[in-house]
Structure 1
Amino acid sequence: MCGRFTQHLSWAELHRLADLVGPPSNLRPRYNIAPTTRIEVIRPGAAGNELTPMRWGLLPAWWKKPLSEMPSTFNARAETVAEKPMFRSAFKSRRCVIPASGFYEWTGAKGSKTPHYFSALTGEPLAFAALWETWRDPESDAKVDSATIIVGAANDWMARFHNRMPVILDWRGIGAWMAGDDPGALLKSAPENALQEWIVSSRVNRSGVGDDDAGLIEAVKQVQNA
């Protein structure tokens, strides 16, 4: 799974990697992104690839119940994303990319879990395979764009820490993912040398999201007390 990640990104870098259109944006660095909060998403538009904010947690267009009854949709499983009612419509025609600086996973026993931070070995942003939808709030009639990260089986390197991981695309292939005829072929584990890892502050273990600073991703020699 992927339940917490970071976006400390520059417009110039994303413009180079994803050939973005539109005016440059001053992107606020985020070091502790949790589900249901706003994230930056790349999706194809009429004039080209655009960067737009969305809710993290897919809301299918047909959902009519209160949001409090919405199951967790911040991740979609690669093995079933084409068939699951929550995701299959978006998989057919609303594929996108979520750029990430890195993501967190935990090891150890409940109550004393060790947080690890994962980022690209190259230092570039990661391109998570993702889906997006537009939902209309039945009470306010407001439109809400939302997205989910697709996760698949971990490669051998990642399996030491977790049995699942985000599907990571090659930036050169994001066009084929977002508009190609065979997206399922791209839902595979990342190369064994794609990521690097280090232990970070246990401040990340706290429930909810409070701390959101660069210190969260700094390497520590031992787990700190929360």
Structure 2
Amino acid sequence: MCGRFTQHLSWSEIHRLAGLIGRPRNLPPRFNIAPTTSVEVIRPAAEGGAELVPMRWGLVPSWWKKPFKELPATFNARAETVAEKPMFRSAFKSRRCVIPASGFYEWTGAPGSKTPHYFTAPSGEPLAFAALWEPGTHPETGEPLVSTTIVVGPANGWMACFHDRMPVILGWRDAEAWMRGEDPSALLKPPPEDALREWVVSTRVNRAGSGDDDPDLISPAAASPAPPAEALP
């Protein structure tokens, strides 16, 4: 699963990694992104290259007409069924994108006493989540709405001690092939064992919607070993 992640990104870095076009803009740091909020998404641009677009996290199919409260959870799409599920198959066929993430959270332990962990690249470089996007209209207001979902698959061996699922993390060199290629299914695989680092963080992150701009949320908790300096923002 991937139910919470961070984006503290610079335009210049994402431009370098993804070949963005368009005018640079400030990207406010986000340290506790929850489903249904807006996230930054990289998608193919009509004139070539890629563009960075804000989208609702939680895909809303263009044919969905019922109220949001009846929409099932669509912030993740399972890699094993994404090509067949009615919610996602059209987007998987022709609207693939990448969500740049500074890191993501996962929890371990029993209900009521879960421990939050933060995962990020050892180099500090943004992660590239395989994702899908969908154009449409808000089912209740009729206003234009663009939405997205993160593709998740089985955990690699290293991640399995924390959770049995994880986001599909692409190498940046594979981002173009994912978004425009003819065989996207070939990229739906776990990342290398050394793709991530982890440390325990404060339970403050459990409160979705609180402290979205607080970098202390990703600081190591007192009992957690400190990550290498290059992994911190």
What CA deviation, in whole Å up to 9, does each residue of 1:121-174 have, x standing for no partner?
121000000000012135533110000000000000000100000000010111
Q: 2:178 — aligned with what?
A: 177
On the 8 A contact 2:64/2:139 being kept in 1, the answer is no
Q: 2:149 — aligned with what?
A: 148
> Which sections of structure 2, spanning at least 5 residues, go unmatched?
225-233
On the 8 A contact 1:7/1:99 being kept in 2, the answer is yes
Q: 1:51 — aligned with what?
A: 52
CA distance in 1, matches of 2:216, 2:138: 37
Secondary structure of 2:199's counterpart equals strand
Normalised by the size of structure 2, how large is the TM-score? 0.93
Q: 2:108 — aligned with what?
A: 107
1:6 aligns with 2:13: no
Secondary structure of 2:198's counterpart equals strand
Q: 2:28 — aligned with what?
A: 28
What CA deviation, in whole Å up to 9, does each residue of 1:60-106 have, x standing for no partner?
00101111110000000000000000000000000000000000000
Over aligned residues, Cα RMSD in angstroms?
Answer: 1.0
Q: 1:15 — aligned with what?
A: 15
CA distance in 2, matches of 1:28, 1:45: 22
On the 8 A contact 1:113/1:205 being kept in 2, the answer is no
> Which sections of structure 1, spanning at least 5 residues, go unmatched?
none
What CA deviation, in whole Å up to 9, does each residue of 1:2-30 have, x standing for no partner?
00000000000000000000000100000
Q: How does 1:52-131 map to 2 (within 5 A)?
A: 52-131=53-132
Q: 1:222 Cα deviation (Å)? A: 2.8
The count of residues paired between Structure 1 and Structure 2 equals 222
Corresponding letter in the other structure for 1:4: R
